[in-house]
């Protein structure tokens, strides 16, 4: 999710700015899931997100 957000942010920077904001939101959500998963806290009933 972080990689997808980064790709969308870069594409949005050069084309439509709305895509950039969607990419930034996806990066933040992905980072939160990654942090919660790394400390062992289940996210959405799952311990690991692939």
What is the separation, in whole angstroms, between the first and last Cα of the chain?
9
Tens-level pLDDT at each residue, the chain (50 residues): 788 888 888 898 899 888 888 888 999 998 888 887 788 766 666 666 56
How many degrees, rounded to 5, is the angle at CA 17 between CA 19 and CA 5? 35
Instruction: Say what the pLDDT of residue 47 is.
Output: 61
Instruction: Say what the pLDDT of residue 28 is.
Output: 92
Instruction: Say what the pLDDT of residue 46 is.
Output: 65
**Can you say how many angstroms the Cα of residue 26 is from the centroid of all Cα atoms in its chain?**
3
Instruction: Say what the pLDDT of residue 41 is.
Output: 67
Delimit the domains of the chain by residue range: 2-38
CA distance 1 to 26: 6
pTM for the model: 0.70
């Amino acid at each position: 999710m972080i990689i997808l957000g980064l790709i969308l942010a870069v594409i949005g920077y050069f084309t439509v700015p709305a895509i950039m904001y969607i990419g930034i939101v996806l990066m933040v959500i992905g980072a939160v899931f990654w942090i919660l998963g790394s400390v062992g806290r289940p996210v959405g009933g799952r311990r690991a997100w692939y």
